[in-house]
Amino acid sequence: MPNITVPASDPGLPNRRLFLAAGSAGAVFSALAAAASQVSPAAAVSPDLLALIEEHRTAEEAYRIALEAEDEALTRFETFKTKANADFVRQWPSKWRGDFDDLATSRTELIGLLKIDHQSLCRAIDHAFAPMRRKLFDIWEEHVEDVLKAFDDLVARTSAAEEETGYSKAAKQLEQAEEAVDSIFLQICAWPCASLAEVQLKATHLIERSDEIGWVRRDALLHSLAGHPPAEV
């Protein structure tokens, strides 16, 4: 490929000093936007890039809607959990307060508290008349069974409430919406611009979302600036 020397002051290309002075990601974007602002409005922009950016905006709006729906559903679900937990503790007084994010551990903790109560009962009736002691232990065992059954019912109702309040569905939809936004955003970062008009368009879109650029997207962006095709990112 022939070597072509282009003067750094060519009005159609970014001044190299802009890039030498740009030490941060924000400065790089500003340098790109400033340089690209000199491009003729008639410069070519790939329809695919335009479609990708529009698709990203649509995905962002879908994510915003999904986030609002998930937040509302989470509020309903948290309200149910707070009331259900309070009802359980009121019905079965104990030091247990529960952790709905780790129900298996909560059950183990509840059993541990019941064992402590059992030890206290043993000390209290250690010198009681044998038949009475046996009856008290039988009552205690029935109590433990009732408490654990009530807890298992609470777990089942909580699981059902996750569906009934719409939280489970909303959380999945939010996750899918977020994945869609991330995927398209990464494609835009990785897009190798073929003209300064594309640089301007891409830089403007990314500047508005500079806080969202993480390590993966940053690497994709740097590869695109180096002219590497997306497949290499």
Residue 200 and residue 36 in contact, taking contact as beta carbons nearer than 8 Å: yes
Cα gap 163→23, rounded to integer Å:
49
Residue 190 and residue 220 in contact, taking contact as beta carbons nearer than 8 Å: yes
Model pLDDT for residues 168-197, shown as the tens digit of each residue: 999 999 999 999 999 999 999 999 888 889
Model pLDDT for residues 19-57, shown as the tens digit of each residue: 344 444 454 455 455 545 544 454 689 999 999 999 999
Model pLDDT for residues 47-65, shown as the tens digit of each residue: 999 999 999 999 999 999 9
Asked whether the whole model's pTM tops 0.75, one would answer no
In a domain, 204, yes or no: no
For the chain, what is the domain count?
1
Cα–Cα distances in angstroms (integers) from residue 224 to residues 124, 184, 185, 197, 202, in the given order: 76, 15, 13, 15, 11
Phi-psi region of 98 (alpha: psi -120 to 50; beta: other; left: phi over 0): left
Q: Which residues of 209-221 are buried (b: 16+ CB within 10 A; e: fewer)?
A: eeeebeeebeebb
In a domain, 13, yes or no: no
In a domain, 207, yes or no: no
pLDDT bin (cut points 50, 70, 90) of residue 13 is: very low
Residue 52 and residue 184 in contact, taking contact as beta carbons nearer than 8 Å: yes
In a domain, 47, yes or no: yes
Structure tokens at 9: 């002051």
In a domain, 150, yes or no: yes
In a domain, 27, yes or no: no
Q: Which domain holds residue 81?
A: 39-190
In a domain, 15, yes or no: no
In a domain, 5, yes or no: no
Model pLDDT for residues 57-87, shown as the tens digit of each residue: 999 999 999 999 999 999 999 999 888 878 8
